[in-house]
Amino acid sequence: MKDRFRLLRERIGEQLWIKPLLMCLISIVGIFATKAADSTKFGKFVPDIREESINTLLSTMSASMLVIATFAVGTMVTSYAAASSKATPRSFSLVIADDVSQNALSAFIGSFIYSVGKRLL
């Protein structure tokens, strides 16, 4: 039973949409955690920064992350298309299950969602 559960967990982890979804959820939780932290007594220890500066920084971050995430998705689609036309089915599944590209894309998408969400709150 443990082996079956482990195999199922690994198969789900290989799916392309799992890691970006987890990073999106972590970003949303982070937005609400920072919003809640603003109302605690620890706010006294944080330097006073103008809201305009933070909004400018978040705006720049969201624009940059959107461009980088779009570029990363384009690169991944190109590599998947090349692998699907020239590689065997087994090697194609290995290309899709690449952790490095999934982690990079997840980080870009998570950063984009955090910066947009934080600006909206």
pLDDT in tens, 40-54: 887 777 788 888 998
Q: Please give the tally of structural domains in the chain.
A: 1
Domain, as residue range, for 8: 2-42+51-120
pLDDT band at 2 (very low <50, low <70, confident <90, very high): confident
pTM of the full structure: 0.79
Find all residues with CB under 8 Å of 107, minimum gap 6, and list them: 23
Cβ neighbours around 87 below 10 Å, total: 13
- DSSP annotation of 39 reads T
Distance CA 5, CA 97 (A): 19
* Host H or E run for residue 121: none
Distance CA 108, CA 38 (A): 25
**What tens digit of pLDDT does each residue of 65-109 get?**
999 999 988 988 888 888 888 878 877 777 777 788 888 889 999
Q: What is the pLDDT of residue 53?
A: 92
Nearest to 79 by CA among 94, 65, 68: 94
